[in-house]
């Protein structure tokens, strides 16, 4: 006898698949989670290849191209301070008034000594003129005596021809003429020596007068320097004294610097110093105003990992430029003919130079993967790529922080 079974209910048929209902959710949980981002939300930068000018961003400050340090030349006391730091000055502007009573007495004494020496020289010159006249008179007498003796000899020679004068008389006349001639030669020699001696004495007197004049002028100059003037046009940058302060020789008083003739002093990282030389181009950023310059000198010493360099400014500075004003600079380092690099947004600190960094690279329309990239120097808004990326690839800049732990991202 056939037994007819009732058809299984729908509920009972589903119960046959209950193991699958348990396995499928478990399998789904075992699949790795893949975060998603909308393609329209991506901020991308493309790897580029081509010429790249490497630059270094550094800081610096303006300083006066012309500076003058004022110091004391004699011990003194500050009696008045007329100008303070920040005051504009001209070359003849008076900053300080100093006092030195002993110096004032020395100036007066030197002036008297100079005047006394002038009086001595005047008297000496008058005496020399009298002595010179006496020597001239003596020489004239000898010349007259020689003329008389010569005439007398000529007469006796004529008389000898006539047989009127004796030989003894003729000999005596000739001897007299020779004696007067020798006497004149002696007088002329004495006159010449006397003139030379007078000249030497006058030069000695003038030398002594010149020494006294130099001493007087030196003391007078030191006295005048007690009224301290700026010396150049510019601004008082520093004042080192106060009223009543006693000063020794060489003590600093103030520093004056030109206000509009300015250069820049910048500080370069030691690793970039070797790539910089005199003539290297520099861009100076003064509160948004860009001015061109060039390196004129590099310091020889490294201080705290930095090398100081002086920059000659080649273009007019803005009217607001002042000494000690801070600035940012961009220094040209090296031109790479074929470099692989990335652009990063202005002001972004996303890329870390000379380090390995994990970046998300777009690999297809629907996915991006994390990749280890070796970065080189950062030059302005460009970062050099040394390994890990190829030209034309795109790097995602705006990966959420919570996605950094994943290796891939799905793009929708």
The answer on pLDDT for 22 being more than 60 is: no
Please check whether residue 29 lies inside any domain of the structure: no
Over range 341-358, report the average pLDDT.
77
Whether 227 has a pLDDT exceeding 80, the answer reads: yes
Tell me whether strands 48-64 and 262-269 are parallel, antiparallel or unpaired.
antiparallel
Q: Based on the domain organization, do 265 and 403 belong to the same domain?
A: yes
Please write the tens of the pLDDT for every residue from 43-101: 888 888 888 877 777 888 888 888 899 999 999 999 999 999 988 999 999 999 999 99
The mean per-residue pLDDT over the stretch 244-259 comes to 92
Q: Residue 45 in contact with residue 400, Cβ under 8 Å?
A: no
Residues 287, 368 within the same domain: yes
Is the pLDDT at 211 greater than 70? The verdict is yes
pLDDT tens-digit map of 319-335: 888 888 888 888 877 77
pLDDT at position 102: 93
pLDDT for 354-366, tens place per residue?
A: 788 888 888 888 8
Instruction: Supply the CATH number for residue 385's domain.
Output: 2.40.30.170
Same domain, 400 and 272: yes
What is the average per-residue pLDDT within 23-36? 55
pLDDT value, residue 18? 53
Q: Which of 2-11, 300-309, 339-348 has the lowest mean pLDDT?
A: 2-11
In a domain, 69, yes or no: no
Looking at the structure, tell me whether residues 307 and 180 fall in a common domain. Answer: no
Residue 16 resides in a domain: no
- 239 and 266 belong to one structural domain: no
Q: Are residues 190 and 110 part of one domain?
A: yes
Number of domains in the chain: 3
Query: Which pair of structure tokens corresponds to residue 244?
Result: 């009543």
Structure confidence at residue 317 as a pLDDT band (50, 70, 90):
confident
Residue 17 belongs to a domain: no
> What is the 3-class SS of the chain, one letter each residue?
CCCCCCCCCHHHHHHHHHHHHHHHHHHHHHCCCCCEECHHHCCEEECEEEEEEEEEEEEEEEEECCEEEEECCCCEEEEEECCCCCCEECCCCEEEEEECHHHHHHHHHHHHHHHHHHHHHHHHHHHHHHHHHHHHHHHHHHHHHHHHHHHHHHHHHHHHHHCCCCHHHHHHHHHHHHHHHHHHHHHHHHHHHHHHHHHHHHHHHHHHHHHHHHHHHHHHHHHHCCEEECCCCEEEEEECCCCCCEECCCCEEEEEECCCCEEEEEEEEHHHHCCCCCCCEEEEEECCEEEEEEEEEECCCCECCEEEEEEEECCCCCCCCCCCCEEEEEEEEEEEEEEEEEECCCCCCCCCCCCEEEEEEECCCCEEEEEEEEEEEEECCEEEEEECCCCCCEEECCCCHHHCCCCEEEEC
Is residue 45 located within the same domain as residue 89? no
Q: Per the domain annotation, does 170 fall within a domain? A: yes
Identify whether residues 119 and 212 lie together within a single domain: yes
Mean of per-residue pLDDT scores for the chain: 81
Q: Is the pTM of this model over 0.95?
A: no
Average pLDDT over residues 376-391: 81
Residues 112 and 179 in one domain: yes
Residue 19 resides in a domain = no
Mark whether 90 and 236 lie in a shared domain: yes
Cα separation of 343 and 48, whole Å?
A: 8
Residue 308 sits in the same domain as residue 343: yes
Q: Is residue 312 part of a domain?
A: yes
- Looking at the fold, whether 250 and 289 belong to one and the same domain comes out as no
Mean pLDDT of 238-263: 91
Domain that residue 88 falls in: 78-98+226-257
Q: Is pLDDT of 243 > 60?
A: yes
Residue 24 belongs to a domain: no
């Amino acid at each position: 006898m056939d037994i007819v079974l009732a058809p299984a209910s729908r509920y009972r048929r589903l119960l046959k698949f209950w193991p699958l209902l348990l396995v499928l959710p478990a399998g789904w949980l075992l699949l790795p989670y893949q975060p998603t981002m909308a393609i329209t939300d991506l901020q991308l930068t493309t790897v580029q290849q081509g010429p790249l000018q490497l630059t270094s961003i550094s800081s610096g400050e303006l300083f006066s191209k012309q500076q003058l340090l004022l110091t004391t030349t004699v011990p003194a006391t500050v009696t008045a301070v007329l100008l303070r730091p920040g005051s504009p000055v001209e070359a003849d502007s008076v900053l300080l008034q100093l006092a030195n009573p002993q110096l004032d007495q020395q100036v007066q004494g030197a002036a008297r000594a100079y005047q006394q020496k002038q009086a001595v020289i005047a008297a000496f010159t008058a005496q020399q003129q009298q002595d010179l006249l006496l020597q001239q008179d003596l020489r004239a007498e000898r010349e007259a005596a020689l003329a008389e003796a010569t005439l007398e000899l000529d007469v006796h020679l004529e008389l000898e021809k006539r047989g009127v004068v004796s030989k003894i008389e003729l000999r005596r006349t000739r001897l007299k003429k020779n004696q007067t001639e020798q006497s004149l030669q002696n007088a002329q020699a004495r006159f010449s020596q006397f003139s030379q001696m007078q000249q030497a004495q006058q030069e000695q007197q003038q030398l002594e007068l010149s020494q006294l004049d130099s001493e007087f002028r030196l003391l007078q100059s030191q006295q005048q320097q007690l009224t301290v003037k700026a010396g150049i046009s510019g601004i008082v940058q520093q004042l080192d004294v106060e009223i009543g302060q006693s000063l020794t020789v060489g003590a600093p008083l103030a520093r004056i610097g030109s206000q509009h003739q300015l250069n820049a002093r910048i500080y370069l990282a030691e690793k970039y110093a070797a790539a910089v030389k005199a003539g290297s181009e520099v861009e100076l950023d003064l509160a948004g105003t860009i001015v061109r310059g060039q390196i004129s000198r590099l310091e020889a010493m490294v201080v705290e990992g930095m090398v100081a360099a002086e920059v000659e400014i080649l273009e007019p500075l803005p009217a607001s430029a002042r000494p000690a004003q801070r600035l940012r600079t961009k220094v040209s380092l090296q031109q790479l003919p074929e470099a692989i690099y990335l652009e990063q947004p202005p002001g972004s600190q996303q890329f870390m130079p000379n380090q390995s960094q994990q970046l998300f690279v777009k690999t297809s329309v629907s996915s991006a993967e994390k990749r280890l990239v070796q970065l080189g120097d950062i030059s302005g808004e460009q970062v050099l790529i040394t390994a890990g990326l190829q030209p034309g690839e795109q790097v995602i800049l705006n990966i959420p922080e919570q996605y950094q732990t994943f290796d891939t991202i799905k793009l929708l």
